[in-house]
Structure 1
Amino acid sequence: MFDQMLPGPEVLGDLDDAALIDALQGWDRAVNAAEARRLAVVAEMGRRSQKYSHLTRCAVDDWDAVTAQISCALNMGHGRAETLLDTAVLLRDRYPQIAALFMAGRIGARTVALIEDRTRLVDAATAAELDAVFAADAEDWEALSWYKLEQAIDTWIQRHDPAAVRRARRTLRSRYFTVGDPVNDEPGATHVRGRLDTVNAQLFDQRLKVMITGVCPDDPRTLDQLRSDAIGALGAGVWHLACRCGNPDCAATAPDAAATSVVVHIVTDTGVLAEPVDPELDGPTPEPDADGNSDTDPGDTDESTDDSEEPDEQPGEEPLAPAASARRSPGVIPGIRNGVVPAPLLAGLIAQGAHVRFVGMPDTAPEPRYRPSTALQRFVRARDLTCRWPGCDKPAEAADIDHTTPWPAGATHPSNTKCNCRHHHLVKTFVDGFTDQQSPDGTVVLTTPTGHRYTTAPFGAFLFPGLRTDTGPAPSGPPNPSHPGKLLMMPARKQTRAQTRQHRINTERRLNETELAERAQPPPF
């Protein structure tokens, strides 16, 4: 509809400035309408989750069976797919007038998302009242900021159902701490942010002060750099910070706890071991010269990956052949959004005592057991880096090693093993209709219950060509016998998803009601 009414890119040059703004606003309405239709499709998928009603009490329930298909189709993680499904069903069932405005493109996804978030505690009757109230004002809300829109929605909830306003113990209950920001992170540096209660914040600050005053005055790092490195030492489980003055007689000189807690898995050759450490990593930022240059570039290192395991070398395990390119590349830390470790930082970690292991080609003979050897696990995790389910970024270090063709019919072999997070491992194992096939180069083709096929390649092979290798066909044995009662092996829920959601709503409403009652009490004399 919208594409027939609005100008396309071929005529944009003929429009005056006013018409260009009109076109921008028109296509924005088209985006809103398209998103509304996408949510309508998702809501219908939620309605059809009834076919998985036998999973309601399982760890992977009927909702998960649907979100697994959504995540594949839209290439998104499980959490995002679940939020999309929750929003779609709530919009269809509780706010039909808002849904109609959204479908017409007259309100945006931001407004819909805030309504969904702020009204989670209201019951069905109150939601019907709010639907009419919101629909009358929603188009005007589009001009409000996020904060003002939140206040407007909360004001109407306050009038209709004060206990449903999401405010109880808000300050303390809003504490959080996150590591990693996919938008703002840069190679070698990861953002951390959070909100602590006052007591924990003071304890944390005092501990950092003690640690950074333990180094000698000749340490080249700035105060901010010392505080940052102290957090790394805390993560390694120690209470002291190693001095970097370089003086062997310094009382604070000790192995760097952060570096010695790291294992550098070398994927190509051993050249990285001889890389020089960049002396410009510590200290104040240099002033730019006349040409605007402020940093030196000591070069790159061999392809490597960092992680926290320390397995021993396996007999006969050899490093993979060097990559064809002579250009050296940085490393990756699996588990922190696969954060990139620039070459100078990687060289510094090795110089400060990081352990070094070589990721070699595992033996291509099938292993005579279900659990893969250390060498095979190391290779598969380095090759995959993440869960192999489409759209899932869960780190391989926390994932299961999954047999594509179930053992014992499927061999414990690099061409038949891959990383799947526990959630998606359960989906593939217990939800009928999900099957997958694996190629010798690690490519996996997942087929969903609708017959749609989704292909994923191992992420490690994109970053490190040395891992892009054909491990040969995996031998197969007689088919596994069918197990009609296999669903009994699925971990069970203590209560259904609907019961859990209602319990959370009831708990938060009780807290709100208690807070309102406390505010209504007269002040003591």
Structure 2
Amino acid sequence: MSEGMLLEQLRADQDHCAAELIEVLYHCAAVSASADFRMLQAISLIHEEHEEDYLTTAAAAVGSGEADPQTISATAMLGRAGDDPRGRYGPNGLEKTIAEVGAALTVTPARARELIVAGSVMRNQLPFVGGMLAIGRIDLPRFLMVVKRSELVDQEKMGSLDTALVGEIENRAPMSMTRFLTMLDATIARTDAGATRKRREVVAKDRAITVRSDRHTPGQSRMSASLPAEHAAAVNAKLDAMAADVHDDDPRTKAQRRLDGFVALAGGHTVLECRCQDCLSGAPDTVDPFDTAESFEATPDVPSPTDGTVAQADTPDQSERAMASQSDVSDTSSAQPRDGAPRPTFHIVVNLSTLLGRDDDPAFLDGHGVIDAETVRNLLAEAHRSYVHTDHSDHSDTDDHRHKDKDKDDHWHNPAHARRARAERRYRPGRKLAELIRCGELCCTFPGCSNPVWRADLDHTTPHGKASGKTNRRNLKPLCRFHHRFKTFDPGWRDYQDEMGTVFFQSPDGHMYLGNAYTGRDLFTSLAPPDQPTDHPARQRIDQIRSRRAESVKRASKREIDRWNAENPPPF
């Protein structure tokens, strides 16, 4: 694009309204993705040329008598006995490309190498997914995630993975990174189960933690760690519990309390000292010890974090068991475990068939993503489990027993309907209903948001109290606190939810966005809304009509065959 054309577009943008500028965003995102596709292709072509030049150099050095391409390639990479290939032939094609791409794009060698690998995979192994990048259906960060997470897939199965992924991307609206990665990992697990096992081994091998000084702030250090997701969830849950187990008057922020809790764990303590004025002065506790636990219930639509889910690790996990065994705790009164303190809890959704060993379908660890079947079976060996059923009721206080009422023309009558109606009129959903809704999602349902679903509020799509504003599965969805407040207090935004749980958001200027293009119902198909019962009168009526029609055609066909046989007796 010429500079003059760009300046003209920038001037025109200043005259556009917000609704028109949203279209500019769509256009820019698509153009950027297409440019990234072209960039990766160019990088890959540069690499190919440099590798060919390197082989040519090696062939000239080896001599015409050993001109076999495989021999030349092996010699160029390994050198002769005792030789240094770089000293003899210079940098290889990959090294040359890393240097050139790094200089052209002003990126680090590691980033340049990542782009070179991505370009090669895009052209040679995942061309269909690369096409999704070319037309702007996905962006560069998502494509790079596909490349990275598929690196352990068997090469012979990359074609199947390419086809499966492009089908998922084409048939769904754009989705948040959490939903995209869950879809990606689930597709890889279905395509190549061996890749999931290899990934578990790599993750266990690569675990590490580093602590280094912060070069920007004197007296401050930074810490980073790589560890299996289930271990990270346990540590995170423990820090959350320790941060919550102080009095309301503690002056520290939650982030500061979590860090102090980590330091306390390193010092052998499992309880965080409270720093409220009463605890610091040594005065007896004047705060109700249950206040902290009750605070989780203080906001509408936010169930307690100790609520269960489908096969959740309400684990007193490793961190809780350690709490029971540690005796080296601070001797201050505030350091003793307080009654009603939150337990370290994290949530896992998994099929019962997987727990029973009937299949190896992946599970979902809230806030972390897909984990493999073997890992989840080990995690849930001692966890609190809660089973979610979708085929009988939206609420935990209704039963599934139906009784035939002889006085009402043999129609089915469910005595739980009255209790269900009362539950739908209540503002706060029951525990089982809350679990079902959260298990059916992966994160906040606002477009692009990746906040964990078990930290989200449960929002009524149609406000509670209105005619159709019931507390049931068809009217509830998870929204993080920010988007819940935003949706509630910005009258210009509207949200819609259909019978299948699909959530749409409409902006004030009329743009419509799909919030949950990939959900827990896609990952766990048993969580999908139940089919209409086979004994429903409407279904029975239509089935009867269709059966009569099919039987009529069958009889007519038989009569035609009998007539032809009568008119054409053997031999024909």
TM exceeding 0.5: no
The structure that is helix-richer by fraction is 2
Name which structure has the greater RCO, CA cutoff 8 Å, separation 6+: 1
Higher Cα radius of gyration: 2
Pick the TM interval, shorter chain.
0.3 to 0.5
TM-score, structure 1 as length reference? 0.35
